[in-house]
Amino acid sequence: MPHRMRNLDTGSLKVGHLKVAVGDRIHIVGESQPRTVTYVMGFSERGTRCAVCKGTGDMPVGDIEFAVIPASAKEPDPSLTSPSPPDSDACQQGEPEEDSEKELHPGLPSIVLHADWGKEREKRKQAKATLGSDGQYLLGAAGPVSSPTEVLSELSKTIRTKGSALAGFDFAIGLPREYAKRAKVKSFLHVLPDLGKEKWKDFFSPSRRPEDIALTRPFYPDAPGNSCQEHLTTALGVDCMNDLLRVCERRTDSRRAGQSIFWLVGGNQVGKGTISGWKEMLQPSLTTPGKAVKLWPFEGTLPQLLLPGKVVVVETYPAEFYAHFKFTVRKREQASRKAASKELVKWAEKSKVKISSELLAQLDDGFGPTKNGEDSFDAVVGLCGMLNILLGHRVLFEPKDLAESVNVDVEGWMFGMASPGSAGSTSAK
């Protein structure tokens, strides 16, 4: 019997509490052919689950009757070509089950790239996966980021108009809400091109003295010594450092809180890499021909952005992915990286993801004896974490579901993060 839902979005179909997974088919009453599910978003237990069937045209809106056909079923129900009464028991509780045996379907990006973006160029490493004609991804070895200004343009040239690319970077993409309120910034996407110019001309220049800090010059200090976080909070007009964190940077059940992008000292500082990422990569990308580069989630949901000829940029946090793969790792220790790498190999086998011989050698070796192997390790973990979501083994959470508590236009979101306080295993030590 078909289910009935009120659908409001032409890009996806709301399925509410129904157990729908990538590879299933959705047969809408009145349509001659079922549509194949290529992405799933939201949570079934909250009734926010939506299914995306990329490449099948716009979804109808209004009161929609449909049936969910499991991937294992061979033929759709022929009774669906004419309307039928609504099913009062339409909603089935539960999360979609993992199914690593499902074949891949159209709609996946032809290239997936992840870069571990350190403050120093020699520590910036990237890993890339390409989608083969057999519908399976091949993971390449981790290597250096050749040129920050050319990463996205090279991806755009590679895919041209025949495919799409998803690129993840572990620097912040967005501004803290409390800071944005005081700086009168309503949209990160709109202010990004202006940073470093006119009233924002000193934005990327870290303040040396407390009296230099301003809403238009928020990064501090330029070097360690005689500085404290109170200097920053006082100058920016907030009560505490927690006010200078975005919602996605705050502590969750699976990892500790991140560091504010504006505080530039300490082993966990992320601001210097963020400055580099915005200046050297994001700002130049805004002028690409045909606006080929899109920023998620500022410009739309992933299915809306991941179109032929487009490169979609997302923010990642490797420690978030550690919990997805359920391993504990001391990433500066080769032995610990080597043990965690074995779990990645198992995941790839289960997910039908191929590993190049070069990457397999890196995994077997734990990415070398030096502590700098952590950068290549995180580049690969991030890549696998992104693929894990794309292949439907973990729900892609679109932050629009948190519109009441997160100013997405300002703060953005981390790709793969479900919600503040989501359950997981461990963070890096």
Q: What is the pLDDT of residues 374-384, one digit of tens each?
A: 999 999 999 99
Domain boundaries defined on the chain:
3-81, 111-172+274-411, 177-268
Q: Residue 413: its pLDDT value, please?
A: 94
Asked whether the predicted pLDDT for residue 346 surpasses 80, the reply is yes
Q: Residue 94: its pLDDT value, please?
A: 36
Q: Residue 422: its pLDDT value, please?
A: 47
Asked whether the predicted pLDDT for residue 215 surpasses 90, the reply is yes
Q: Residue 96: its pLDDT value, please?
A: 38
Q: Residue 100: its pLDDT value, please?
A: 35
Residues in contact with 423: Cβ distance below 8 Å, sequence separation at least 6, in sequence order? 253, 254
Mean pLDDT in the chain? 85
pTM of the model: 0.76
Tens of pLDDT, residue by residue over 129-174, are: 999 988 899 999 999 998 888 899 899 989 987 789 999 999 999 9
Calculate the alpha carbon distances from 293 to 188, 218, 282 in Å.
15, 27, 9
Q: With beta carbons less than 8 A apart as the criterion, state whether 314 and 296 touch.
A: yes
Q: Residue 21: its pLDDT value, please?
A: 86
Tens of pLDDT, residue by residue over 397-411, are: 888 766 566 788 999
List phi, psi (to 5°) of 51.
Answer: -115, 135
Q: Residue 191: its pLDDT value, please?
A: 97
Residues in contact with 241: Cβ distance below 8 Å, sequence separation at least 6, in sequence order? 229, 232, 233, 260, 263
Q: Per-residue b/e over 264-284, b at no fewer than 16 CB within 10 Å?
A: bbeeebbbbbbbbbbbbbbbe
Q: Residue 411: its pLDDT value, please?
A: 95
- Please name the residue that has the structure tokens 């981790």: 142
Q: What dotted CATH number matches 111-172+274-411?
A: 3.30.420
Asked whether the predicted pLDDT for residue 429 surpasses 60, the reply is no
Q: Residue 142: its pLDDT value, please?
A: 97
Considering only the C-alpha atoms of the chain, give the largest distance between any 2 of them, rounded to a whole number of Å. Answer: 75
Tens of pLDDT, residue by residue over 45-81, are: 667 778 888 888 888 988 898 999 888 765 544 444 4
| Cis preceding linkage at 297, omega within 30 | yes
Q: Residue 147: its pLDDT value, please?
A: 85
Q: Residue 268: its pLDDT value, please?
A: 83
Tokens of 257: 């809180």
Q: What is the sign of the dihedral through the CA atoms of 420, 425, 428 and 429?
A: positive
**3-state secondary structure string across the chain:** CCEEEEECCCCCEEEECCCCCCCCEEEECCCCCCEECCEEECCCCCCCEEEECCCCCCCCCEEEEEEEECCCCCCCCHHHHCCCCCCCCCCCCCCCCCCCCCCCCCCCCCEEEEEECCCCHHHCEEEEEEECCCCCEEECCCEECCCCCCHHHHHHHHHCCCCCEEEEECCCCCCCHHHHHHHCCCCHHHHHHHCCCHHHCCCCCCCCCHHHCECCECCECCCCCCCCHHHHHHHHCCCCHHHHCCHHHCCCCCCCCCCCCCECCCCCCCHHHHHHHHHHHHHHHCCCHHHCEEECCCCCCHHHHCCCCCEEEEECCHHHHHHHHCCCCCCCCHHHHHHHHHHHHHHHHHHCCEECHHHHHHHHCCCCCCCCHHHHHHHHHHHHHHHHHHCCCCCECCHHHHCCCCCHHHHCCECCCCCCCCCCCCCCC
Amino acid (1-letter code) at residue 293: V
Q: Residue 45: its pLDDT value, please?
A: 65
Task: Give percent above pLDDT 70 in the chain.
Answer: 86
pLDDT band at 356 (very low <50, low <70, confident <90, very high): very high
Average pLDDT over residues 251-276: 89
Calculate the alpha carbon distances from 3 to 53, 63, 83, 401 in Å.
17, 10, 11, 23
Question: How many CB atoms lie under 10 A from the CB of residue 308?
Answer: 12
Rounded Cα distance, 86 and 106, in Å = 31
Question: How many CB atoms lie under 10 A from the CB of residue 75?
Answer: 7
Choose between 244 and 59: higher pLDDT. Answer: 244
Q: Are strands 143-144 and 293-295 parallel, antiparallel or unpaired?
A: unpaired
Q: Residue 166: its pLDDT value, please?
A: 97
Please choose, from the candidates 382, 395, 396, the residue with its C-alpha nearest in 3D space to the C-alpha of residue 321: 382
Tens of pLDDT, residue by residue over 273-329, are: 999 999 999 999 887 667 899 999 999 999 889 998 999 999 999 988 998 998 889
